[in-house]
Each structure stands twice: as structure tokens, then as C-alpha cells.
A and B are shown apart, each in its own frame.
Chain A
Amino acid sequence: MTLDQLPLGQSAVVTAVGGQGALRRRLLDMGITPKTEVLMRKKAPLGDPVEICLRGYELTLRLEDARSIEIRRVEK
């Protein structure tokens, strides 16, 4: 599944980062690399973008961009 489908409050591990160019590089630079654990923190009031927690900090990105991040759910 992809990151945009991760329900609120759930965690997952990144398996692959798609997309291209500046966006993809930005995602990688911000620490969204394979094996990284991410937590879906909340959705913005208008439903988009979302806030995720990874590597001990909070990051916001748009659903459209989250769609290019492949994840695997982890049960906690």
C-alpha cells in the first residue's frame, strides 16, 4: 500500500520511494528512505495535507505526494 492510505494513528515501514526530480529528492533528503518507520499523525482540517512523524520529528506532505511512497503496515 502507499502512505496516503495509512489510517490515522497507524505506523508503517517505508519500502520504496517513487516520484521523480525535485520532489523525490526532497522526500529522500527529509529522511523518507526504505526501512524508515513512519506514523500517520493527523490530517489537515481540509483533509489534505497530512502530518507524519518519522525519525523523531514531524513532517507534512500532500496526499498526492504521499501516494508515491510505498509502505508496509506494522502492528503495534
Chain B
Amino acid sequence: MSMVFALAGNQNCGKTTLFNQLTGSHQHVGNFPGVTVERKEGQIKDHPGCEVVDLPGIYSLSPYTAEEIVTRDFLMNEHPDAIINIVDATNIERNLYLTLQLMELQVPMVLALNMMDEVTRSGGSIDVLALARELGIDVVPIVASKGEGVHELVDRTIAAAQEKRVPRKLDFCTGEVHRAIHSISHIIEDHAVRAHIPLRFAATKLVEGDELIFQALGIHEGDKEIIRHIVSDMEQALGTDREAALADMRYDYITALREQAVVKPQATAEQQRSLKIDQVLTHKYFAIPIFLGVMLLVFWLTFSVIGGRLSDWMGVGIEQLTGAVSGALQSAHVSPVLQSLIVDGIFAGVGSVLSFLPIIVVLFFFLSMLEDSGYMARVAFVMDSLLRKIGLSGRSFVPMLIGFGCSVPAIMATRTLPGERDKRMTILLIPFMSCSAKLPIYAVFSAAFFPQNTALFMMGLYVLGIVTGIGAGFLLKNTVFRGNPVPFVMELPAYRLPGLQSTMLHMWQKAKDFIVKAFTIIFLASIAVWFLQNLDFGFNMVTDGSRSMLAALGRFLAPVFRPLGFGNWQSVAALITGLCAKETVVSTFIQLTGAAGTSGLAAALPGLFSPLQAVSFVVFTLLYMPCVAAMAAVRREMGSGLKALGLMAFQTSVAWLMAFLVYTVGLALGF
């Protein structure tokens, strides 16, 4: 027996927790076709053959967001055997709004009433039987975080699917709307059967004016005209418009149902506690300092205390492994060329990126805690007014902030943003936030050219990155991303202790993502760079760096950079190797100048650059296209290689322009 269940519900109702309870660690994560909305599926524990698909958290089946559209498409086209609709019992009114729409799809359905413990603990109660009777579907009270009621939920869902028990057709509509739905049902009956769309759902959506359903049904102009008449008659009789009429009616029905089945105290203990916490965390004066404090703590713990230390250990481990492999290769008399490829190319390249893994895992541990606790929603609330000016919302703030640590997790963190537009625009701006891998470059240039003003030099670079990001934001908002942003109308969920299981699973998924990347794209990039660095065009090993393909490529591209002041091939070669990982720029310079370490390089650099040229070079380094690891993350999150290439071109053009500006203005000012 094989069955597919769809898990649907609002955001913040414990859907992910339930999904983890249902599937354990048997999950696979992908995207819905054509969009970057995450699609998670897994087999239900102890029920081989029963798959559950975790649909995105949505509030309605309207046709406005990608999340809502993929949910509709999945439910209508992939015909799941049953829907598990998870509902937050502490917030039952708004949650049932989606339930009513899901019921219209006429798919067997079970309602999982989550967080029932919180309701009863604060003196409330929900008459589960009355709810089940009214809706005509099974209702199972559960506590997803503790796994309570999950077995029964699965059993009831399987039973509902086997019996093909579809929800009752609710007659919650009053006179006019009811009449409109009926008349439209008659007109479109054949269309709906042909298009395999549940009639009631289709008719309701047409009353709401849903263009996508009009198209899916293939209704011709004549019938469309009749439907338009029916609807406008309804609007006139009701004195309100189509969308408001239906929303209003669903909520009226829910209010009546709530009065019948729910005894609820003013607010649950958790909700009252949240209000108290918010008196501090979103306080008029303390909110922003507290937020900065939290982020500083997260960064400090990630980059120096935990992640940094683990990274160092991992680096040492990789070094020793590299040493061992190198020794083994030597004693096996493998040709020196192959040895160099494996040791200097693959191990060094993949290893340097892989040593970032602990940082990414630790960062995601904290981010996932902040997200699940409900704090991220508050951050969006507090920071919204800053980001609105560049056409984004407060929700983009945290991913951008993470960009200062590393673009890879920052880009991965955009996954939680609603709407393709906001997601893409945030991804485009993240690389302007100077990542930590660029610090060694700034450090060595500052030591070489501005040893007296290190702090100012560093500060200036960070500020320049941010200012360029803001400028780029304005530019994008008024050109490519002129479309409507996702409305910033967002729930502030009650604070809850994050579950360890969810956090761990989340970390593991991000780690897996990164490891796959390290062994595919970064692996190939490392090999490519090794070839460029060590071979000439006759594919002979070179001992002199200036005769390598990389040097030739550097000389070939140098004219492009001459207007920026650094037309020497060494700089261009360093920029190319910097694509593997930005800190490689430093090691390439060391190799090409034959300097002894970074201190030697600081002494050697003034031979290659004037101070102004150095500034221009660093500005370009700050802003040009991100490293391959980040590009791989971009490709994945944007769901398209072409768009990733677009980002590459955009970033590099901006970098060129800014460096050109710096150099030209600098020259004019007599530097």
C-alpha cells in the first residue's frame, strides 16, 4: 500500500516540528519545479509506503504568492491521498481560515490540533467532537513538540485516505454568495471535470476572481462574461466586493464555530509571557541595542569561540591528512605532477573551503534557534523601516547581516524569505557586505600602505560595501525589481523554546548542502586553478609562475583593469584565484612575488602598486563577484545558473565602476 499525504498549515503552527516527528531523519529536501520554494518529503516512521510532503506554510489559497501557488498546484495536480491540516489551537480562528479553503478541494482530510497542552494549561478547552462534527473531518489533538497524539493522527489519516472520506461541503455561505457559487458551478461543471479541479473549489475561486483558475478551466469569453455578471450582481446586492465578501463569510463562519466549540481564556500563558518578553525585546530604546548585542554574541561565538576553534582544528586535521596523503604518494613514486595536482590543487582548494564547514554549521545552529524561538520575526519588525527604503522588508535584514560573516550561509538563509522578488534582490545585495574571508586581504594591504590608519582603512571598506549595497538596492528597485514586493503583513508568533531535534536536522541539512558543494563545484574549481597556475599552454609544468597559463590569462585580461590603475598581470592572476576563496588572493600574491609570508608580502606590495592603485585594487576586491562556494549557493537558491551568471556580471560591473571612480577621482585630487 503506497500513499502520499500532504502536510499543510499556517506558518508558526508547528508544521516543521510535526513533519520531523512524522518522518524522523528520513527526509529529502528539494524545490518545487520552477520556483525556489522548498519541498521537503519523507517516509512516515513505521509506515513503509506512506510518504508525507511538507507544503510551505501559508495562510490562504489565494493566487498571489509562489508559496500559495505551489501548494494549490500540488494539491490539485499531484492528487495526494489525504491532507493533514495542522492547526495552532492557541490561534484557532486564523488557522481555520486555511482549513475552510483546503476543505473545498474535496480531498480526504484530517485536522491536527496542535499545542492543545497550552490551551488546556491556561484554562481553555476545545470541544474536539463538536469541531469534527461541524467540519465533517476527523480532528486529532496533538502536541507536536512532545510527539503526543502523532500515532493516532497517522492512523486516522490512513483510515480517511482508505475510505476516501472527503470533507463535508460546508454551506457557510449566506444568500447572495451561495447563489453566485451555485450559478457559477452550473456553468463550469464540465470544465472542472475536464481540468480535474474540484467543482466547489473552482466555483469559489471564480467568485473571488482568481485568474489562474479561469485559465486552468479554459473558460471562453462568453461564459466569462456571464460569470462577471453573476459576480457583479452579488457585489451589488452585498454592498461589498468579491474578495472581501468571501473572506468575511469564512471568518463569520469560523467565529460562530469558535463560539460553539472553543472556550478560550483571554490569552494563553505563552501569549502573556510573549507580551512581557516583547516589552524588552521590541522596546522603543532597547530593541536595537539588544538586537545588535544578540548578533554580536552570535558572531563572536561562531567566528571566534566555537566555530572558529572547530575550524582551526579541522584545518589542522586537513593539513595532517594532506601531509599523510602527500607522504603516501611520494613513497608510491607517483609522478610529481600528479602529486602536485592532488596535494596543492585538490587538497589545498577543497580543504580551505571545507575548513569553513564548522563555522557554517555553528552559525546555522544559532540562526535556527533564533528563527524557531520567534525572535527573527521581531527583528524584521524592528528593522523593517530601514530596509523598506531600498524596496525590501525587515525580513531581509538578518541574511544581509550574516553576509558580513560569510556569503554562503547568508545566501542559504534567504530560503526563509517569502516571495521570489525579495529573495533574489537580497541575494544580489548580500555579496556587497564584506565577508570575513576578505579580511586577510585588507590586513595585508593596510600593513603595506597605511600602517598608521589601519582602523580607518578597514572601517572605510566596510562602509563602502554597505553604501554600494544601498546604492545597488536603489538601482535594482527602480529597474529590474520594479514589481510589487510581498506585502509586509506578518504574524509575530508567541515565543517558544526551540526544539533540539528541529535545530539539529536543520544544521545537518545545511552541512550536507555545503559538503556536496565542496566536493563538486569547489573540487572542479580547485583543479581548474591548479592547471592554470602550474601548466603552460603546452601542458608542461612550469617552475616560474610568470610562464603559467594563469600569468598569460592575467596578461590577456590586464588591459581591462588598466583604467583602474592595476594593469599588472599579478593582480589579475590573484583576482582569478580569489574566485576559489577570497583569502587565496593573499597566497597567490605571496607565490607570485616570492615574498616570505604575509609580512614579506607587505614589504613587496609597494613594488606593484602605488597607494592609490592599491586602494583601487582593494575596492575592486571588496565588490567583485563572490567566490565559487557563494556562486554555487546563489545558483541553488535562485534555481537557475543563468541568474547566477547575471549576478556575477552585475557584481563585477559594479566593482569595476566603483574602482574606476576611486582611481579617477584619486588621480584628479593628486594622489
Q: Which of B247, B484, B491, B493 contacts A28 (CB 8 A)?
A: B247
Write the nearest CB–CB distance from A41 to chain B, whole angstroms. Answer: 8
Q: Which of A26, A45, A56, A59 contacts B382 (CB 8 A)?
A: A45
Q: In the complex, A14→B282 CA distance in Å?
A: 26
Contacting residues of chain B (537-559) with chain A, CB-CB under 8 angstroms:
none
The answer on a CB contact under 8 Å between B283 and A45 is yes
Write the nearest CB–CB distance from B663 to chain A, whole angstroms. Answer: 37
Q: Which of A27, A30, A45, A60 contacts B287 (CB 8 A)?
A: A45
Q: In the complex, A8→B572 CA distance in Å?
A: 59
The answer on a CB contact under 8 Å between B492 and A46 is no
The answer on a CB contact under 8 Å between A33 and B386 is no
Contact with A along B374-404 (1 / 0, CB 8 A): 0001001110111010000010000000000
Contacting residues of chain A (7-66) with chain B, CB-CB under 8 angstroms:
17, 21-31, 33-34, 36, 42-49, 51, 55-62, 65
The answer on a CB contact under 8 Å between A34 and B264 is no
The answer on a CB contact under 8 Å between B385 and A59 is no
Residues of A contacting B377 in the complex (Cβ-Cβ under 8 angstroms): 60
Residues of B contacting A48 in the complex (Cβ-Cβ under 8 angstroms): 384-385
Write the nearest CB–CB distance from A67 to chain B, whole angstroms. Answer: 13
Q: When A and B form their complex, which 7 residue pairs have the shortest distance between CB atoms, in order from nearest?
A: A28-B247, A29-B60, A58-B492, A22-B64, A46-B385, A23-B487, A55-B93
The answer on a CB contact under 8 Å between A25 and B243 is yes
| Interface range for B | 35 or more
The answer on a CB contact under 8 Å between B484 and A22 is yes
A-B contact pairs, 19 of them (CB 8 A): A17-B244, A21-B64, A22-B65, A25-B62, A26-B487, A26-B489, A27-B487, A28-B244, A30-B491, A44-B287, A44-B381, A45-B284, A45-B288, A48-B384, A49-B384, A49-B394, A58-B274, A58-B494, A61-B489
Which B residue's beta carbon lies closest to that of A58? B492
Residues of B contacting A47 in the complex (Cβ-Cβ under 8 angstroms): 385
Residues of B contacting A28 in the complex (Cβ-Cβ under 8 angstroms): 243-244, 247-248
The answer on a CB contact under 8 Å between A42 and B282 is yes
Q: In the complex, A48→B493 CA distance in Å?
A: 19
Residues of B contacting A17 in the complex (Cβ-Cβ under 8 angstroms): 244
Which A residue's beta carbon lies closest to that of B249? A33
Inter-chain contact total with CB atoms closer than 8 Å = 120
The answer on a CB contact under 8 Å between A33 and B492 is no
Contact with A along B236-275 (1 / 0, CB 8 A): 0000100110011001000000000000100100010010
Q: Which of A21, A33, A34, A60 contacts B490 (CB 8 A)?
A: A60
The answer on a CB contact under 8 Å between B484 and A21 is yes
Write the nearest CB–CB distance from B283 to chain A, whole angstroms. Answer: 7
| B59 on the A face (CB < 8 A) | yes
Residues of A contacting B288 in the complex (Cβ-Cβ under 8 angstroms): 45
Write the nearest CB–CB distance from A57 to chain B, whole angstroms. Answer: 5
The answer on a CB contact under 8 Å between A34 and B248 is yes
Q: Which of B62, B240, B285, B486 contacts A45 (CB 8 A)?
A: B285
Write the nearest CB–CB distance from B263 to chain A, whole angstroms. Answer: 13
| B566 on the A face (CB < 8 A) | no
The answer on a CB contact under 8 Å between B91 and A57 is yes
Q: In the complex, A24→B380 CA distance in Å?
A: 21
Q: In the complex, A55→B250 CA distance in Å?
A: 14
Write the nearest CB–CB distance from A34 to chain B, whole angstroms. Answer: 6
Residues of chain B at the chain A interface (Cβ within 8 Å): 59-60, 62, 64-65, 90-91, 93-94, 97, 240, 243-244, 247-248, 251, 264, 267, 271, 274, 278, 282-285, 287-288, 377, 380-382, 384-386, 388, 394, 484, 486-494
The answer on a CB contact under 8 Å between A25 and B386 is no
Q: Which of A44, A45, A58 contacts B491 (CB 8 A)?
A: A58
The answer on a CB contact under 8 Å between B488 and A29 is no
Q: Which of B64, B244, B380 contacts A33 (CB 8 A)?
A: B244
The answer on a CB contact under 8 Å between A59 and B282 is no
Q: Which of A22, A31, A51 contacts B486 (CB 8 A)?
A: A22
Q: In the complex, A62→B489 CA distance in Å?
A: 7
Q: In the complex, A46→B65 CA distance in Å?
A: 28
Write the nearest CB–CB distance from B502 to chain A, whole angstroms. Answer: 22
The answer on a CB contact under 8 Å between B64 and A25 is yes
The answer on a CB contact under 8 Å between A59 and B489 is yes
Write the nearest CB–CB distance from B383 to chain A, whole angstroms. Answer: 8
The answer on a CB contact under 8 Å between B287 and A22 is no
Q: In the complex, A22→B64 CA distance in Å?
A: 6
Residues A44 and B385 in contact in the complex (CB < 8 Å), given A55-B93, A55-B94, A56-B91: yes
Residues of A contacting B91 in the complex (Cβ-Cβ under 8 angstroms): 55-57
Residues of B contacting A23 in the complex (Cβ-Cβ under 8 angstroms): 484, 487, 489
Write the nearest CB–CB distance from B270 to chain A, whole angstroms. Answer: 12
Which A residue's beta carbon lies closest to that of B61? A29
Q: In the complex, A34→B494 CA distance in Å?
A: 25
Q: In the complex, A29→B382 CA distance in Å?
A: 23
Q: In the complex, A43→B486 CA distance in Å?
A: 21
Write the nearest CB–CB distance from B275 to chain A, whole angstroms. Answer: 8
Residues of A contacting B243 in the complex (Cβ-Cβ under 8 angstroms): 24-25, 28
Residues A49 and B381 in contact in the complex (CB < 8 Å), given A17-B244, A29-B97, A30-B489: yes
Q: Which of A34, A36, A57, A62 contacts B384 (CB 8 A)?
A: A62
Q: Which of A46, A55, A57, A60 contacts B386 (CB 8 A)?
A: A46
The answer on a CB contact under 8 Å between A56 and B267 is yes
Residues of A contacting B488 in the complex (Cβ-Cβ under 8 angstroms): 49, 60-62, 65
Q: In the complex, A28→B278 CA distance in Å?
A: 26
The answer on a CB contact under 8 Å between B492 and A31 is no
Residues of A contacting B484 in the complex (Cβ-Cβ under 8 angstroms): 21-23
Residues A25 and B60 in contact in the complex (CB < 8 Å), given A57-B94, A62-B488, A65-B488: yes
